[in-house]
């Protein structure tokens, strides 16, 4: 097996994306298919929603009804995947998968390399470079290397707010966060 895995697009029933991903992960584990199906992604975006006058950061599916799968295509793998509950089929002619093009993969950020573990540490000042909070500065309060995420304290709407961001969304800033003292009068 010297064929390289490629990204394909699966179409699912509305609201079944997470269930399809979980089912496929179990399928991979139970049938030892890790060499054939190497990655599954549901593209998500973080947005700020306002409800009852309160703003909160929520994750929303970027493309509802789609799951991205990186796999080596065989008829057997096609059968396993299309037989999974919630999957309506692959995107392609007559339900046969067509690999995604490199520019499509880049646009969907499927192959984004995550930052090496240990690059960030608690207390680091970072700039948020991507997502709805792009341009905000914050201080790292917690690190989750296994999930490649950090909890950052930033000032939003005049209040200290903790947000969770992926390593790929932040960059370390050399200057420390400016301290604000409410007692100081200019």
The answer to pTM > 0.85 is: no
Q: The domain spanning residue 68 has which CATH number? A: 3.30.70.940
Is 70 within a domain? yes
Q: Decide if 132 contacts 91 (C-beta within 8 A).
A: no
Does 142 lie in the same domain as 88?
no
Among 64, 79, 108, identify where a domain stops: 108
Contact 63, 56 (CB under 8 A): no
| Statement to judge: residues 56 and 137 lie in one domain | no
In tens digits, the chain (186 residues) has pLDDT values of 568 899 999 999 999 999 999 999 999 999 999 999 999 999 887 777 778 877 777 788 888 999 999 999 999 999 999 999 999 999 988 878 899 998 888 887 777 654 444 477 888 898 888 888 888 999 999 888 767 788 999 988 888 989 988 887 888 887 655 555 444 444
Of 53, 59, 18, which is closest to residue 163 (Cα–Cα)? Answer: 59
pLDDT attached to residue 116: 43
CATH of residue 152's domain is 2.30.30.30
What is the structure's pLDDT at 71? 94
- Domain region containing 129: 125-173
Provide the number of structural domains found in the chain: 2
Q: Are residues 155 and 104 in the same domain?
A: no
């Amino acid at each position: 097996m010297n064929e390289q895995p490629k990204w394909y697009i699966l179409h699912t029933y509305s609201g079944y994306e997470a269930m399809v991903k979980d089912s496929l992960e179990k399928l991979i584990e139970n049938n030892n298919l890790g060499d054939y199906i190497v990655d599954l992604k549901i593209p998500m975006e973080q947005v700020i929603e306002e409800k009852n006058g309160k703003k909160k950061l929520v994750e929303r599916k970027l493309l509802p009804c789609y799951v991205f799968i990186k796999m080596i295509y065989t008829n057997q793998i096609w059968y396993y995947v299309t037989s999974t509950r919630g999957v309506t089929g692959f995107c392609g002619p007559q339900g046969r998968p067509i690999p995604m093009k490199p520019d499509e993969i880049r646009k969907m950020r499927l192959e984004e390399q995550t930052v090496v573990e240990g690059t960030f540490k608690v207390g680091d000042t970072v700039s948020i470079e991507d997502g709805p909070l792009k341009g905000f500065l914050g201080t790292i309060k917690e690190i989750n290397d296994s999930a490649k995420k950090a909890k950052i304290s930033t000032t939003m709407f005049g209040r200290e707010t903790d947000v969770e961001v992926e390593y790929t969304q932040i960059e370390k800033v050399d200057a420390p966060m400016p301290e604000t003292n409410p007692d100081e009068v200019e």
